[in-house]
Amino acid sequence: MRAHRILIPALFLLAACSNPSSQSSAQPLAGDGGALSNAPLAEPGRRIPADAATMRLSFAPVVRKAAPAVVNVFSRSVVRQQVDPFWQMFGAGVPRERVAQSLGSGVIVRADGVIVTNNHVIAGGQEIRVVLGDRREFPAKVLLADAHADIAVLKIDAGRDPLPVLALNDRDDAQVGDLVLAIGDPFGVGQTVTNGIVSALARTGVGVGDDSYFIQTDAAINPGNSGGAMVDMNGDMIGMNTAILSPSGTSSGIGFAIPAALVKRVVEQALGGHTGVAAGRPWLGVKTQDVTAEIARSMDLDRPQGVLVTDLYPAGPAERAGLKQGDLLTAIDGQPVNDEATLDYRVATCQPGDEVALEIKRGKETARTIRVHVEPPPGGGQVTELAISGRNPLDGASVIDFSPAAAEQLGIDPFMAIHGVLITRLNDGLAARFGLRPGDLIRAINGQTVSSVKGLQALLTDGHTWRVTIERGGVEHSADLRL
């Protein structure tokens, strides 16, 4: 089954479970399986509808509060389109240009015009515009685009008058069964509101984004809703609707929203001075593996739980704090960790420099807590890319010094090397003809280890044959390349 991304703001509604006029618990951004009992079902802030009159209560107060802060986001780009090669033989092969458009939703999170949406809504866009609920339209600039989290932060200048704002509730207190509203612009028909319930929490492994950790809802989400808000009964945003799981491409009752905690972290990162692309993502320097039923039996666990530490980056935060290969990591800051995606999400909601408490079990020892300060991955900041040209086998390749920061930006394993040179892209040249690819790590030239771009340049002297060793997909390959 294929996952389709879409736009949709959604509001958590408690069909008469909580009072729509109650005070918000969030603040706008500034610059178990126990035994059955006779305990009452009702909880503070949540009530079961008691009669037909209660069932007829309206979500209108929540919509009036939230809807003005939900906007439409349009992205336009000019795409050069090649004509059929057959006609190129007759001189009719001039590339044609067409305008590609993307339609989504967004949410105003600061009164001065800061807006969040999905990265896939604006990715590749040469012109981005935002249409407010009052039909005013403004150009938008990208403050930060985080492809891993699929979150983009935009800024518009709407003048001196403050814009309506939707507060971010990042407490992660939603529960399965809470009612929700979805506000967005599906199919471009205009702002639309749908309702449903939270049908699952902490959904991972759905094939959408790298920081894959979602609130699941059955509220109708369709193409055009991506980037909208999921809102609770107080009218606060608890998630950004991002994707659906559907064989038809339209809503089939399984939609996914990025939790507001991660949205807030990316907004704070953007407002902290980072521009263009994500920078300074928090990092533990630890590589892990999910615990399967077979692994759990081999470790004498009563059930699969936690993640196994399989590798540690030398002198990284986790290694300095005392973690070791083979440790079983079961929780972070008191929150259970049952797979890699959950650990990645919990770390991603931190700011670099934050201290987190990791609960681990080592062999037969009693469980312990290790405190670690998360840091940006090594090699962040300004990365210098070198385009190689001339009479050598890497002609046409662009390369950078390998680092965990560069690897994460490119979506490759940051543990594949400590040092080396990474191919980032290829233009027409010898490197492409020899079969080299972006993501290849250049290990050696003529038997001499390559540890930096500067060292690589020194090895690419004039000649006729070069023995090039690369690493691709964790496997080393060597070949004699002749000109």
Compute the distance between CA of residue 458 and CA of residue 449 in angstroms, rounded to an integer: 12
Q: How far is CA 163 from the centre of its chain?
A: 27
Say which residue the tokens 């958590």 belong to: 12
Which member of 4, 120, 148, 274 is catalytic? 120
Structure letter (DSSP) for residue 462: S
Residue 293, SS3 per DSSP:
helix
Residue 167, SS3 per DSSP:
coil
Residue 323 has a CB neighbour count (10 Å cut-off) of 22
Q: How far is CA 20 from the centre of its chain?
A: 31
Residues whose CB is less than 8 angstroms from the CB of residue 468 and which lie 6 or more positions away in sequence, other chains included: 393, 394, 434, 442, 444, 445, 478, 479, 481
Amino acid letter, residue 309:
V
Which member of 4, 75, 102, 150 is catalytic? 150
Q: Please, are residues 286 and 311 in contact by the beta-carbon 8 Å criterion?
A: yes
Give helix 260-271 / helix 340-348 axis angle, nearest 10°.
Answer: 40
DSSP string, 21-87: TSPPSSB-------------S-BTTB----SHHHHT--SHHHHHHHGGGEEEEEEEEEEEEPPPHHH
- For the question of residue 339 being annotated catalytic, the response is no
Dihedral pair phi/psi, residue 455, rounded to 5°: -65, -35
Q: Please, are residues 115 and 240 in contact by the beta-carbon 8 Å criterion?
A: no
Q: Please, are residues 47 and 17 in contact by the beta-carbon 8 Å criterion?
A: yes
Which member of 102, 226, 246, 403 is catalytic? 226
CA 125 vs CA 121, 303, 466: distances in Å: 8, 47, 41
- For the question of residue 226 being annotated catalytic, the response is yes
The dihedral through the CA atoms of 77, 137, 185, 45 has a sign that is positive
End-to-end CA distance of the chain: 47
Residue 155 forms beta bridges with which residues?
A: 114, 141
- For the question of residue 51 being annotated catalytic, the response is no
Catalytic positions are 120, 150, 226
